[in-house]
Amino acid sequence: MDQENELTIRASFIKLIQGDITTQEVDAIVNAANGSLMGGGGVDGAIHKAGGPAILEDCKALVEMQGPISAGMAVITSAGNLPARHVIHAVGPIWMGGTLGEAEMLRLTYEESLKLAVENELSSIAFPSISTGAYRYPVEKAAPVALETVAEFLKEQKKGIKISFVLFNEETYNAYQAALNKIKASILPKKKHS
């Protein structure tokens, strides 16, 4: 039986953690980046600060090769001094009120990050709550999109992948816990009426 903050899907699982993503010892942490890949505030600033200049150097080399990236895209770099092995830089949508395809774009951002992880044979990935800080996506709306997208992806994977959502504050953690509870309730076998 899963703990309250966990969901097992085939050989994989999703786990919610309240904490700082820069301390996670995983194959890759995901950065909520912007398209310039030149760093910024929030989790992006924390990752570059803790990881040191090697990450920015990799980002600069990528931008030189392929130009800046757009919302919904993800790229992978080394992780400098971080305990993680790689950083996946993903660009979420800026919230514009919800009618401009933000949910679809957020879904794509998680999917592209997961595809990149599988392509690189990574099996433990930590996500922050993409777009719910400076990009103002309401967390109670972003949490179900994030968790459903990851759950759908894991259903298709034979090889187990450990996904953690590392949520920086209590409000964010609670929103993800509420969304996880709803997903769990929706997949429980329906009770038969006698």
Active site residues: 44
Q: How far apart are CA 85 and CA 54, in angstroms?
A: 12
Residue type, 126: A
**Window 90 to 109, contacts with ligand AR6 (CB under 6 A):** 92
Using rule CB under 6 A, residue 146 touches ligand AR6 = no
111 CB contacts (<8 Å, ≥6 apart)? Answer: 149, 153
Using rule CB under 6 A, residue 164 touches ligand AR6 = no
Q: Which of residues 7, 9, 30, 43 is near ligand AR6 by CB under 6 A?
A: 43
Q: How far is the CB of 118 from ligand AR6 (least distance, A)?
A: 22
Q: Which of residues 12, 34, 113, 177 is near ligand AR6 by CB under 6 A?
A: 34
Using rule CB under 6 A, residue 125 touches ligand AR6 = no
56-71: b (≥16 Cβ within 10 Å) or e: bebbeebbeeeeebeb
Q: Alpha carbon of 181 to those of 6, 65, 137: distances in Å?
A: 10, 43, 21
Note the residues at the interface with ligand AR6 (CB under 6 A). 20-22, 32-34, 40-44, 46, 92, 128-135, 166, 168-169, 172
